[in-house]
């Protein structure tokens, strides 16, 4: 009976991919390590460096699917014109996102260019606004999908003709996001940041089947977050986070905290640990290590929803590498770091 339910679950997902009105976006459990995907105003919003580059890899449902979902993101951003603009700077960056989902090989490729302006408000706060624009492509291999009219009572048989015909198996469109951030840093040991963004502002059309334009458009996605970086003492910095997103009728809430322990005295070696909870879905422990401004973090989604009956609590594994640095030409006149540091 469980096997039959599992088959039905897989079919339901494939049908959802093809016919749903509002598809849900890709996401990472380590959302804080993918800031440009969370909010374009995060572009160049780097309180402890001048630039950063990062890559993430996520593997999901490998315990229950022959072809698990694999998601890769690469991004880079930098602060520019710090020596040209008084009490402000410009952030420039870009993101490449690729995802392959399930046996139908639903492949998503997205490329975004991002820009943001950052303005200091006095000596203890910062206001930022930004946007990005990008190109997205989705394609699917219909020959690898199974449909209800191919079920013979026991199995899905690909030799049985199906009446489901896709009008196209490849769609492309332009996409626009916008957002704002506010940061407050009253002392060298306290940094508080809040942001809000809207994705798919232009509601692009995305469908593999013939459908009315008003029902095949991607719904706008709203994202809000609140985080803090707090220096407890010379050896411990903690980073609590709250994240909320909603799109169409789906929503997600993540709460948790990660922290860094200074292993070397000068902050060049740090031990990273954290724990997050995605409400009603998963517990996400995280561990990592930082060496000379290069940080490696690994997290694992432990499923707590009813899906654990099928996957044995094994949700998704995720790995991120992040490199931060400074420009030599700004070494002598760069404003001191805005957030707590070792």
Average pLDDT over residues 151-162: 67
Q: Please, which residues have CB within 8 angstroms of residue 3's CB and are 6 or more apart in sequence?
A: none
User: Model confidence over 11-21: pLDDT tens digits?
Assistant: 333 444 444 33
What 3-state class would DSSP assign to 192?
strand
In sign, the C-alpha dihedral spanning 164, 168, 172, 176 is negative
How far is it, in rounded angstroms, from Cα 325 to Cα 292?
A: 9
CA-atom Rg of the chain in angstroms: 22
Whichever domain contains 152, its CATH number is 2.40.160.40
133 lies in some domain? yes
How far is it, in rounded angstroms, from Cα 296 to Cα 302?
A: 20
Phi, psi of 32 (to 5 degrees): -70, -20
153 lies in some domain? yes
Among 176, 197, 188, smallest CA distance to 133 is for 176
338 lies in some domain? no
Among 84, 86, 79, 91, smallest CA distance to 41 is for 91
| Residues in the chain, total | 342
Average pLDDT over residues 163-188: 88
Q: What share of the chain is helix, strand, coil (3-state, %, to 5)?
A: 10, 50, 35
User: Model confidence over 206-227: pLDDT tens digits?
Assistant: 877 766 556 678 999 999 999 9
Least confident window among 43-47, 156-160, 174-178, 287-291? 156-160
Output DSSP code: residue 32: G
Phi, psi of 132 (to 5 degrees): -140, 160
Among 73, 72, 71, 79, smallest CA distance to 42 is for 79
pLDDT of residue 22: 41
Among 212, 200, 198, 199, smallest CA distance to 173 is for 200
204 lies in some domain? yes
Q: Which residues form the domain of 169?
A: 2-330
Give the confidence band of 327 by pLDDT, cuts at 50, 70, 90: confident
How far is it, in rounded angstroms, from Cα 133 to Cα 94?
A: 10
Share of the chain above pLDDT 90, in %: 56
How far is it, in rounded angstroms, from Cα 299 to Cα 60?
A: 12
pLDDT at 124 over 60: yes
Total count of domains within the chain: 1
Phi, psi of 309 (to 5 degrees): -65, -25
Among 164, 163, 156, smallest CA distance to 17 is for 164
In contact, 54 and 296? CB cutoff 8 Å = no
54 lies in some domain? yes
How far is it, in rounded angstroms, from Cα 284 to Cα 336?
A: 33
246 lies in some domain? yes
pLDDT at 183 over 60: yes
Q: Is 12 exposed, middle or buried (0-12, 13-18, 19+ CB in 10 A)?
A: exposed
- Chain centroid offset of residue 245 CA: 11
138 lies in some domain? yes
Phi, psi of 7 (to 5 degrees): -60, -40
77 lies in some domain? yes
């Amino acid at each position: 009976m469980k096997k039959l339910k599992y088959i039905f679950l897989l079919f339901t997902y494939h049908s959802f991919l093809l016919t749903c009105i509002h598809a849900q976006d890709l996401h990472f459990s380590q959302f804080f390590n993918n800031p440009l995907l969370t909010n374009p105003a995060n572009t160049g919003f780097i309180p402890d460096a001048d630039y950063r580059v990062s890559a993430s890899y996520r593997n999901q449902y490998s315990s229950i699917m022959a072809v698990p979902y694999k998601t890769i993101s690469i991004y880079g951003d930098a602060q520019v014109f710090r020596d040209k603009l008084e009490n402000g700077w410009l952030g420039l960056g870009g993101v490449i996102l690729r995802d392959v989902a399930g046996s139908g090989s639903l492949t998503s490729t997205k490329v975004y260019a991002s820009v943001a302006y950052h303005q200091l408000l006095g000596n203890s706060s910062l206001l930022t606004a930004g946007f990005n624009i990008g190109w997205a492509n989705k394609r699917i291999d219909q020959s690898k999908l199974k449909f209800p009219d191919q079920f013979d009572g026991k199995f899905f048989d690909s030799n049985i003709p199906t009446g489901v015909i896709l009008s196209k198996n490849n769609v492309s469109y332009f996409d626009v996001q916008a957002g704002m951030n506010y940061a407050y840093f009253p002392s060298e040991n306290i940094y508080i940041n809040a942001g809000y963004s809207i994705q798919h502002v232009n509601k692009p059309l995305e469908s593999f089947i013939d459908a009315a334009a008003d029902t095949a458009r991607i719904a706008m996605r709203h994202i809000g977050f609140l985080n803090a970086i707090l220096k407890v003492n010379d050896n411990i910095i903690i980073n609590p986070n709250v994240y909320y997103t909603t799109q169409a009728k789906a929503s997600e809430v993540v709460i948790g905290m990660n922290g860094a322990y200074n292993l070397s005295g000068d902050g060049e070696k740090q031990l990273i640990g954290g724990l997050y909870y995605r409400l009603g879905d998963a517990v996400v422990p995280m561990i990592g290590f930082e060496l000379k401004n290069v940080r490696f973090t690994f997290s694992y989604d432990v499923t707590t929803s009813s899906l654990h009956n099928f996957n044995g609590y094994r949700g998704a594994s995720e790995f991120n590498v992040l490199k931060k640095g400074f420009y030599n030409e700004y070494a002598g006149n760069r404003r001191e770091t805005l957030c707590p540091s070792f």
